[in-house]
Amino acid sequence: MELFDTALRIDAPGPSGVPVVNNLKLIRDSARFLLGRVGPFEQPVVPATAGNGSVVVVRGREAVKQVFTDTAAFQRADGFFDLPPGRPWSGMFDAVITANGAEHTRRRKLLMPAVHRTAMTHYRAVFADTFERSRFAAVDDAPFDLKRECLRISKANLMRCLLGLDDADGLSAFADRIVTLGTEAGDPRVLLFKRDLRWSPYGRWLRRVARAYDQLATLIAQRRAGEPRPDALSILCHAVDEDGDQLTTEEIAGELHGFFAAGFETTAMTMSLALITLLGSPDPDAAPVDPSTVDVDAVVKESQRLLPAVPITLPRRVTATVEVAGSPPVPKGALLFLSPLLEHRNPAVYPQPQVFRPQRWTAGEPGPKQYEFIPFGLGPRRCLGAEFADLQVRTTLTLLLERGLPGLVEPRIDYGMVNGVTAGPRRPVPVRAGGPKWTVLTGSVTRVWKPAA
C-alpha cells in the first residue's frame, strides 16, 4: 500500500502548501511543523494541508481518547515498515508496536515476562552499574558531551538488559546496526522509492536488514540452547504461554529491533533533556537547583511534558471513514498522528504551558486527566517498555544528584528533531564536573521553554 493518498479530502482548515511536501515535513521535521504550522489550528482534526485528507493530526482529550480506545478504526499503519515477503528477515519490522488485533494481544502477552517486576529488579542493578562506568561518575573535571554520554548509557543498558551483552566486549557496532535500520527507513529515498535493486538506496538498506537479522538469529539460537538468564532475550527465548505458544526466531528478532528502535534514542534524549532542566533555564531569575530537594519524578514528568523526546506518535491508518470528536469525516486510508508536543501545551490543562514547573506534579496541583499526558501512549497500546525507560532515567538522575551535578560549559541548547520521531538537543551539550552551578540557557530551546510571566 502507498504511504499516503493525496487524493483523499477532508473539509477542515489546516496549513497551506503542497500535500506531499507538508506530509514529508510533518514526518521528517515533526517538532517544527507541529508548533509552527499545526499548532495554530485547535479543532479536533487538523490536516497537514488544508482540505487534504491524506495525513491528519488529532488534538484534544476527546479525540486522543477515541484514537487510543478504538483500535479497530485506527490501526498501526502499513506502508512505513513493510518488507518484501518470503525472506527469513521479512518480519524484522513486525513487532508488538506495529501489530494489530489478535496478533498484538498475542505478542504483548508473550512479551510481558521481559518487563515483569522480577526482570525490573535485575535491570535496576544494571542501570546503577552502567552509571558507575559513565563519565558522570568520573572523578576528573575534563569536559564531555552530556548528550553523547546519555546515548552511550542508554545503548549500554539496552545491550546488557535486552541482549545480555556487555558494551565492554566491543559489540557496540552491533547495536548501532540494529538501531540505524529504523532511522534509515524514514529516509525519503528509502520510504518513497521501494525498488529492490542492487544499486538503489532501498536495495542497499534491505541488505543491511538481512545482515542484522542474521546476527540476531545467531544470538537467538545461542540463547535457546543455553540455560535461562536474566536478560530479556533469554526470557523471550524460554517464554511459553498456557497454550504452549512461543515466539519464533523471526518474531523475537522483530521484537528486539522494536525495543532498540523505540527505546534507545528516546530514552537517551529524555535523560538528556531532564538533566538539562537541572543545569539551567532560559529564565534569568530562576534559582539554581538544590540537589537535596529535587523531586526526580516531578522533574522527569515536567521535562517529558515541556520537551518531549517523542513529539509525534507512530502513524495509524484509518480503516473506515470516521468522525473524530465531532470532526468532519476523516477518510478511510488517511494516516493519523497524535502529538504529545501539542497535547502537553494545552493552556486549559497546563497553565503557563511554556514554563518549566515541576510543581505541577506534586500534591496540591490538579494535574492532567487521563488522555492529557501521553509520553508513552495509553490503553492497550501503551508502550510496553515505558517502565523500563522510566526506571532507567530515574535511576540515572537519582544517582547523579547523589554524586553531584556537572555544569554546562556553554549555554546554547537547540531543541528539535534528531532522528526519526525522536527530539532532543540538536548539538553537543558540553559539561564538566565543577562547572557553573546554574546557566541561563540560549538557543532554539527558548522558543518552546519560556521564563515565568
Please compute the mean of the pLDDT values over residues 139-150 and round it to a whole number. 94
Least confident of 182-191, 276-285, 292-301, 375-384: 182-191
Find the radius of gyration of the CA atoms of the chain: 22
| Residue 5 within a domain | no
Specify the number of domains making up the chain: 1
| Residue 277 within a domain | yes
Average pLDDT over the chain, rounded to an integer: 92
Least confident of 164-178, 246-260, 290-304, 318-332: 164-178
At residue 233, what is the residue type? Answer: L
Q: Which three cell numbers stand for residue 261?
A: 528502535
What pLDDT sits at residue 304? Answer: 98
pLDDT > 90? residue 180: no
Q: Which three cell numbers stand for residue 189?
A: 529515498
Q: Phi and psi of 197, rounded to 5°?
A: -115, 150
Closest-CA residue to 195 (of 186, 187, 203): 203
Any idea how long the chain is?
Answer: 453
Whether residue 96 contacts residue 80, with contact meaning beta carbons closer than 8 Å, is answered with no
Distance in angstroms (rounded) separating the CA atoms of residues 378 and 364: 24
pLDDT > 80? residue 182: no
**How confident is the model over 337-378, as pLDDT tens digits?**
999 999 999 999 999 999 999 999 987 788 899 999 999 988
Instruction: Please state the three-class secondary structure of the chain as a single string.
Output: CCCCCCCCECCCCCCCCCHHHHHHHHHHCHHHHHHHHHCCCCCCEEECCCCECCEEEECCHHHHHHHHHCCCCEEECCCCCCCCCCCCCCCCCCCCCCCCHHHHHHHHHHHHHHHCHHHHHHHHHHHHHHHHHCHHHCCCCCCEEHHHHHHHHHHHHHHHHHHCCCHHHCCHHHHHHHHHHHHHHCCHHHHCCCCCCCCCHHHHHHHHHHHHHHHHHHHHHHHHHCCCCCCHHHHHHHCCCCCCCCCCHHHHHHHHHHHHHHHCHHHHHHHHHHHHHHHEECCCCCCCCCHHHCCHHHHHHHHHHHCCCCCCCCCEEECCCECCCCCCCECCCCEEEECHHHHCCCCCCCCCCCCCCHHHHCCCCCCCCCCCCCCCCCHHHCCCCHHHHHHHHHHHHHHHHHHCCCEECCCECCEEEEECCEEEECCCCEEECCCCCCEECECHHHHCCCCCC
Task: Work out the pLDDT band at 79, boundaries 50, 70, 90.
Answer: low
383 in a labelled binding site? yes
**How confident is the model over 9-30, as pLDDT tens digits?**
999 999 999 999 999 999 989 9
Distance in angstroms (rounded) separating the CA atoms of residues 216 and 93: 13
| Residue 73 within a domain | no
- CATH number assigned to the domain comprising residue 392: 1.10.630.10
Task: Work out the pLDDT band at 168, boundaries 50, 70, 90.
Answer: low
**Cell 517538532 appears where?**
31
| Residue 348 within a domain | no
What pLDDT sits at residue 422? Answer: 93
Q: What's the N-to-C CA distance of the chain in angstroms?
A: 49
Question: What is this structure's pTM?
Answer: 0.93
| Residue 370 within a domain | no
| Residue 185 within a domain | yes
**How confident is the model over 259-284, as pLDDT tens digits?**
888 889 999 999 999 999 999 999 99
In the chain, pLDDT over 90 holds for what percent of residues? 71
Domain that holds residue 108: 91-308+377-447
Distance in angstroms (rounded) separating the CA atoms of residues 71 and 219: 34
Task: Work out the pLDDT band at 55, boundaries 50, 70, 90.
Answer: very high
Distances (CA, A) of 323 to 38, 70, 330, 331: 19, 12, 6, 9
| Residue 156 within a domain | yes
Least confident of 180-184, 209-213, 315-319, 333-337: 180-184
Q: Which residues make Cβ contacts (< 8 Å) with residue 199, sequence separation at least 6?
A: none
What pLDDT sits at residue 268? Answer: 97
| Residue 350 within a domain | no
pLDDT > 70? residue 80: no
